[in-house]
């Protein structure tokens, strides 16, 4: 399941979940839209149980965007215990899985 996050609840979500994956997107970003079903599929994998998956509109949420240092879209960041562990601008499932693996390191 993917939760929509905004500037108003972003920090609370980071601080109340140990492992968090964030996808940053924009409504105009075609690649973001194409990747959305893949991100959903990744979020539903049994091995990712206990990981919170977030969607953040990068244009509407500047504070959440700044927390990850977004440089391009789509952009993914992983947070553990409220701290950014890794991030990457990628549109590949392997890239997102690599970031998620950093949460267990």
Q: What is the CATH number of the domain that holds 59?
A: 3.40.30.10
Alpha-carbon distance values, 1 to 53, 55, 63, 66 (Å) = 7, 10, 23, 24
Euclidean distance between CA atoms 100 and 33, whole angstroms: 20
pTM assigned to the model: 0.96
Active site residue: 13, 21, 29, 70, which one? 29
Name which of 88, 43, 95 is nearest 68 in CA terms: 88
According to the model, what pLDDT value does residue 70 have? 96
49 classed as catalytic: no
Task: For residue range 3-42, list pLDDT tens digits in order.
Answer: 999 999 999 999 999 999 999 999 999 999 999 999 999 9
Active-site residue among 13, 14, 22, 32?
32
**Domain containing residue 91:** 2-104
Average confidence (pLDDT) over 86-90: 96
Number of structural domains, the chain?
Answer: 1
Residue 104: pLDDT band (50, 70, 90) is: confident
pLDDT surpasses 90 at 105: no
């Amino acid at each position: 399941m993917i939760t929509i996050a905004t500037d108003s609840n972003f920090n609370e979500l980071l601080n109340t979940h140990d492992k968090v994956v964030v996808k940053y997107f924009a409504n105009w970003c075609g690649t973001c839209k194409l990747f959305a079903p893949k991100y959903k599929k990744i979020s539903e994998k049994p091995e990712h149980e206990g990981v919170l998956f977030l969607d953040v509109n990068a244009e509407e949420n500047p504070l959440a965007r700044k927390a990850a240092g977004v440089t391009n879209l789509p952009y993914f960041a992983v947070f553990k215990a409220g701290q950014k562990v890794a991030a990457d601008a990628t549109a590949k499932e392997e890239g997102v899985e690599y970031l998620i693996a950093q949460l267990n390191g």
